[in-house]
Amino acid sequence: MNPSTLPIRIRATSSRLSKGLLAIPQRFVHLFPADKSKIYVRFDIEGPATPLTYTDYDTSSREARIFGLGGWFSTATIQNGDVIRIIVLDREKRLYRIALDSVVQAEEEGATRVRLESAQSDNVAEQEFHTLVRLTRRRPRKLAQHEVLQIAERTICKPRPQLLVPASIRSEGVPAGLRHLLRELHGGKCQMCSFTFQRRDGEPYFEIHHLDPELGHHPHNLLVLCANCHAQFEHAKLTHFVWNENWLVSVTINGRHRIVRQPLAKRSLRGSVLGMSVYAVSQIGFAIISGRLVA
C-alpha cells in the first residue's frame, strides 16, 4: 500500500490527553503542512471546521503535533487507549476530520450496507459484500448469516408488484444485494437437496423461490433452490409445512417428507416487533395449500 493512502490511526495516551494534543508520527507528516500553521478540523461529517494549531515534525520528539483538542477529548469522552482516526479532506485547504476510529468504522460499514442492499447488479453486490467483509473482518459465510438475520429482523413483509411476463423471461426480482447474501449463506446450494452446478462464469447456479408470490422479498419468504426443487415447489402437491421462528424447515412434497436446510432457524433474534408476523406466516401456508405457487 502506498504510504500516502495509509489510514491515520493514532492511539490516545494519558499524557497527550492531559495536554489536549495529538502526536502525528513521522510517516504521516507529508499529509500536513510543512511548517507551523493553522489547520481546520471537522469533528463531525458536516458542520463548520475548527481552526487548530499544527506544529511540524520535530527531530527531538520525533513527532508533529495538533494542539487545542482538549474540548473535543472531553466532549467525546476520549479515554486512554482509544484509537483516533484522522481523515485528510482537502490537503491544499488544510482541512481534516478527526473522530474516534470506531465511529468512522461504523459509518463506513453502514454506508457499505446501504450500497449492498441497493445494488442494481450482481457485480456491484459482490464488490460491496467483499468491502463489508474487509471492514468487519468476518468470514464471508458468517457475515452473510449476520446480514440476512438483520434484514429479516428489521424488514416488514409487504406485497410485491405482480407483473405478467412470459415464462421465458421471468425473474424472481430479488434485490441483487440480498441475492448475493443468500448465495453466500447457502454456498449457492439448494436448501432442499444441496445440488448446484458451476455456470460458465464460475458462479454456482441457483434460483430463488417466493413461498408466497404476493409477499415481498423478506428472507423468511425466500428459498434458494435448484431448478428441479423449484419446479416441485411450483407444481407438486405440498402439505405439512413446519416452521421454526418463521423459517420453513420441512415440507411434505407428493407425500414425501423433505427437510429444508435453514442455518438461521435456531439463530434468529427473538423479540423483534418487525419481521414477518404470525398472520403473514399463516397466509403463506394458506396460499401454498391453495395452489398459489408462482415464484
DSSP state string for 214-247: TB-S-GGGEEEE-HHHHHHHHHS-EEEEEEETTE
At 6 the pLDDT is 60
Same domain, yes or no: 81 and 147: no
* CATH number of the domain enclosing 31: 2.40.330.10
Residue 109 maps to a domain: no
Same domain, yes or no: 166 and 195: yes
Same domain, yes or no: 282 and 233: yes
Same domain, yes or no: 73 and 172: no
Same domain, yes or no: 65 and 187: no
Residues of the chain with pLDDT below 70 are 1-6, 159-172, 267-295
Q: What percent of the chain is modeled with pLDDT above 90?
A: 72
Helix (H, G, I), strand (E, B) or coil at 43: coil
45, 73, 101: which is the final residue of a domain? 101
76, 101, 126: which is the final residue of a domain? 101
At 162 the pLDDT is 57
Helix (H, G, I), strand (E, B) or coil at 138: coil
Same domain, yes or no: 126 and 262: yes
At 271 the pLDDT is 36
- Among residues 181, 195, 191, the alpha carbon closest in space to that of 146 is found at 181
Q: What share of the chain is helix, strand, coil (3-state, %, to 5)?
A: 35, 25, 40
Residue 112 maps to a domain: no
101-117 and 140-154 are packed helices; what angle lies between their axes, rounded to 10 degrees?
80
At 41 the pLDDT is 96
Same domain, yes or no: 78 and 142: no
Same domain, yes or no: 46 and 151: no
Strands 247-253 and 256-259, sheet pairing: antiparallel
Residues linked to residue 87 through DSSP beta bridges, in sequence order: 97
Range of the domain at 33: 3-101
**Cα 31 from Cα 33, distance rounded (Å):** 7
Same domain, yes or no: 70 and 132: no
Give the chain's domain count: 2
Same domain, yes or no: 126 and 222: yes
Same domain, yes or no: 94 and 135: no
Residue 294 maps to a domain: no
